[in-house]
Structure 1
Amino acid sequence: MHALKDTRINYKQQKEAFVTGHTGQPVKEVIKLVAVIFVCILSFMFVAKDEKSSHFFAAALQSWHFGQNYGFFHFLIEYGLYYVIPLLFSTILSSYLEHMILGFLFSVPILWFCTLFCKKNKNSNDNTKKSFRYTLKGIRDTKDTGMKSYVSTLRGTIMLISCLSILAVDFKIFPRKHAKVETWGISLMDLGVGFFVFSFGVVTIKNIKNKYSSKVSFIKKMKISLKQSYMFFVIGFIRILIIKICDYPEHVSEYGVHWNFFFTLGVLSLSLVFIEFLHQYLKSYIFIIILLSICNELLIRLPHVLAYILNAPRTNLISANREGIFSLIGYLIIYLSGIDTGKYLFYENKSSKKNNSINQYKVILKIFSLFVFYSVISYYFTFYGKHPISRRLTNLPYVYLISACSLGCLVCQMLIEILFFGSSAKYIDIVPLMLHYVNKNGLIIFLIGNLITGLINSSINTLEVGNVAGFLIMIIYGIILCGVAFIIDIKEWKFKF
């Protein structure tokens, strides 16, 4: 009995050591990895979503006698593009990025020419294609009101990569340079956390416009805010209980002893009522961002505050969770940046169909201007600031890097969609169905991803799992997540957060 307990303690210590003490990688390397993933995904998306390429895939299916399973084949294509490729780049092929870039650059035009060659099969494949497309349209048309294709694609991709990373980091196949940094530095996972918060803010603007108007009383706004945030706190407390009861390995310096990311999301959601109170007087989210940035920087510049966050003994509830508590200001800035971006995307892009194209370019120009603004500030704080970049502190170098990268990805997504699909393309013709479902049920998928990660870590010693077995586990894990996203929407299950 004692031997079993000692083994369990030893495993816990090994696991905690495996995910702590990392220094990340240079900023340019992280950005390059994100850029490569997006470029490859989007490049293949253009081929896969083009009307001509649908005939190519249909022709391929007919040659394999799988015409009745065309829907499943389409799922495999999307799963390969949006999950397997990021998995490959962040694990097995992480040391061969340059070679893979060249490979993709050569393969995209080859695949494009294949689609042109297979155009001859258009008439013979129309029936297969239509039966599939119209079935999906019947599901999607009633559910995408108010959605933006570039937002859904970006948020769906971020969600899948985030879920991928939270499991992959426990396996040796996942390079330690991609794991969350201990204090100073940046990594792929650090960037993913920030992207998640930013994208959360982008879609929050719709809640603000619908439920937090100036005509609504402060008390009613507070009730709405509590109703929207309480579930995050419930999940956070349940997570604490499970971790403590199961003696699950913890990365304490990430958020603290009891704090976790669900509490952060809950506080951000709860803060809406106070954000809108300030917004009524300042009339601009940028002003609030600047005020919070000044407060954040002044606080971290105080030597005793910095020493407290990094080194204080965990003697009470505040000091035990100091990382999670003090990082709230930084995450709130990122959240506000997303809200400010969402304002332009959802509410300053309304015009008649006649001026739709011009209006879209105006929105892109505004988002690009924000990208330049955040990039300049990010560059200054990263290279001339007092402290290096730090997710643990969510200091200004980290906050503005996240905002700049998020806006950069968004601008690229918008430009590419217009370039390949035009300004009048429909949502259902652009957004991959898998990403639509993952985006729509994002928080549920994220929760399930956390649960599966916990079950896997409790069932097997991931440190002893080989690369091939680890890769296969993550492939199955991804299929489960995407499958659940499909089932939730098809069955029309409703979950409120």
Structure 2
Amino acid sequence: MVKDYKQLKQEHVSGHTGSSLFDINSVSLAMPLTILLWSVLQSRMRQFRPYTLDACFLDILLNCCVTLVAITVYSSSPWLLNTLLLVPAALLYLSSSPAQSKTLRPPKKDDADKGAQLDPLPVKPFITHYRGAMMVITCVAILAVDFRVFPRRFAKAENWGTSLMDMGVGSFVFTNGVVSVRSSLKSDTGKLPPLSKRLVASLRHALPLLVLGVVRLISVKGLDYAEHVTEYGVHWNFFFTLGFLPPFVALFQSAFALVPSYAVLSFTLAAVYEVALDKTDLSAFILTAERTDLFSKNREGIFSFFGYLAIFLAGQSLGSFALPRQRPIARNASMSTKIRQSVLGQLVLSAIMWTTLFHISISYYGLRLGVSRRLANLPYFLWVCSFNSYHIAICCAIETVLFPSIYKAASRQEEKQRAKDATSTVLHAINRNGLAVFLISNLLTGLVNMSMPTLHMEVLETMAVLVGYITAVAGVAVGLDWLDISIKL
């Protein structure tokens, strides 16, 4: 086992598998640039209000189909696509002035009194946009990977390396952590409920996900569906990882009293796990051991859970300062004070911190560790935190420049309307029912794979199927939102 492990360990010295970090960043940049173009069209032309069928078509085209072509037909020339998104956005922004929005009916006196105290946790369009965009690229990738038009370098790396789909899994967990902290921020007393109550509440959230994990397990085994055992194990799947997160997060909230920082708590967990991987035979066991019992058969899912738990806690760290309302900053405050007190400034500092730590962990003059999604090790944790932090910071910067008056409203009603006007309906709908959309995408992916020879289809046929698929997923999400249905899993 040790000999086999040394051979695998050599992989991250002789050369990583998957995509280069530059390649992944170049392709993924299409997401915030698409949001930028959407935001310019809305702030300058009110293109998406009222929300007609034409507006819905353009919304899906920008926020779903552009992501699709970015990771397929434009994957070898991402900067061409990025230029095609950036140039019209810049020209429209520079050549026009902000469109005047329709003013709301002045509220009655009693309504004004109720709305005088603005929501301390307002809806943040940039969070909605990023979470929705990440869900779109996740849904696209889980089906596109089965077609030849999807580059192999974007598929999940076997043991070591970085790829687009490796990032997608971690980002899904990170963004869920960002919004999960909302419930604790709502607490007026600032005191945590007793552990027993937290565990009971967390189990309510975990049970549906664990049931979905069992259903997926039975369906995959029953239909003899193709699966990669080295991804999570023989029986484990991503729904089990998601399902076990709530109760373990509830347990770690007790440690928050001793370490009052989700960032420090998450990094400590990831670092301790990395020490266990490097200073014991744990890495060798995960990568090369025989599958003789239930534990060893599912070792990837069991041990990578610690990495995903750390990622979830890091997402909570970002959410703890990104979700609350920004406090007023004195005009005569120094630049450093403005940066530290503004949400955008804190996001930028967070991105710099995680990126610096990531490069220290992988660099020749640092720890020289290899990124491994299979292990969910320290470099993978830092990579996911870095990637998501600076992408969310870009989305926040777009909102700050193009919709500066969202949080200057006089009442809650007005603020909600301004936030709604600054939010893509498609991305809002997908974000609103994220886990339901993810489940639908998995079901459609299985249906397509069982009914079509995906690996033998030409480019035009492939793109027709993928466009129809993501349009259907977005259509279901928009329909649920229009019916005001929220499916909580």
Same fold flag (TM > 0.5): yes
Post-superposition CA distance 1:66-101 (Å, at most 9, x none):
xxx961111111111111111111101111223333
Q: In the superposition, relative to structure 1, how do residues 91 and 278 fare at CA in structure 2: closer, same or farther (>3 Å)?
A: same
Q: In the superposition, relative to structure 1, how do residues 100 and 483 fare at CA in structure 2: closer, same or farther (>3 Å)?
A: closer
1:399 aligns with 2:394: no
Q: Map 1:214-253; keep pairs closer than 5 Å.
A: 214=191, 216-253=193-230
Where do 5+ consecutive residues of structure 2 fail to align? 1-15, 106-119, 333-337, 408-417
Shift of 1:393: 0.9
> Contact (CA 8 Å) 1:378, 1:397: kept in 2 or not?
yes
Supply the AA of the counterpart residue of 1:194: G
1:25 aligns with 2:6: no
> Contact (CA 8 Å) 1:214, 1:280: kept in 2 or not?
no
Q: In the superposition, relative to structure 1, how do residues 462 and 268 fare at CA in structure 2: closer, same or farther (>3 Å)?
A: same
Which residue of the partner structure matches residue 36 of structure 2? 43
In 1, the alpha carbon distance for the partners of 2:171 and 2:350 equals 16
Aligned positions, number:
445
Q: Map 1:153-232; keep pairs closer than 5 Å.
A: 153-210=129-186, 214=191, 216-232=193-209
Q: In the superposition, relative to structure 1, how do residues 262 and 289 fare at CA in structure 2: closer, same or farther (>3 Å)?
A: same
Shift of 1:346: 2.1
Which residue of the partner structure matches residue 293 of structure 1? 270
Q: Map 1:41-190; keep pairs closer than 5 Å.
A: 41-50=34-43, 52-54=44-46, 71-110=52-91, 146-190=122-166
Shift of 1:43: 3.2
Supply the AA of the counterpart residue of 2:243: G
Where do 5+ consecutive residues of structure 1 fail to align? 1-21, 59-68, 135-143
Shift of 1:109: 4.4
Shift of 1:213: 6.0
Supply the AA of the counterpart residue of 2:224: D
1:431 aligns with 2:423: yes
Shift of 1:302: 3.1
Higher helix share: 1
In 2, the alpha carbon distance for the partners of 1:485 and 1:342 equals 24
Which residue of the partner structure matches residue 385 of structure 1? 367
Which residue of the partner structure matches residue 457 of structure 1? 449
Which residue of the partner structure matches residue 281 of structure 1? 258
> Contact (CA 8 Å) 1:44, 1:108: kept in 2 or not?
yes
Partner SS for 1:281: coil
In 1, the alpha carbon distance for the partners of 2:173 and 2:382 equals 13
Which residue of the partner structure matches residue 465 of structure 2? 473
Partner SS for 1:94: coil
In 2, the alpha carbon distance for the partners of 1:491 and 1:353 equals 43
Partner SS for 1:385: coil
Which residue of the partner structure matches residue 140 of structure 1? none
> Contact (CA 8 Å) 1:202, 1:340: kept in 2 or not?
yes
Which residue of the partner structure matches residue 268 of structure 1? 245
TM-score by length of 2: 0.84
1:319 aligns with 2:296: yes
Post-superposition CA distance 1:216-241 (Å, at most 9, x none):
22211111111111111000000000
1:366 aligns with 2:359: no
Shift of 1:48: 1.7
Deviates more, 1:243-252 or 1:418-427: 418-427
In 2, the alpha carbon distance for the partners of 1:371 and 1:465 equals 41
Q: In the superposition, relative to structure 1, how do residues 266 and 88 fare at CA in structure 2: closer, same or farther (>3 Å)?
A: same
In 1, the alpha carbon distance for the partners of 2:266 and 2:486 equals 34
Which residue of the partner structure matches residue 356 of structure 2? 376
- What is the percent sequence identity of the aligned residues? 31
Which residue of the partner structure matches residue 15 of structure 1? none
Deviates more, 1:419-428 or 1:161-170: 419-428
Shift of 1:252: 1.1
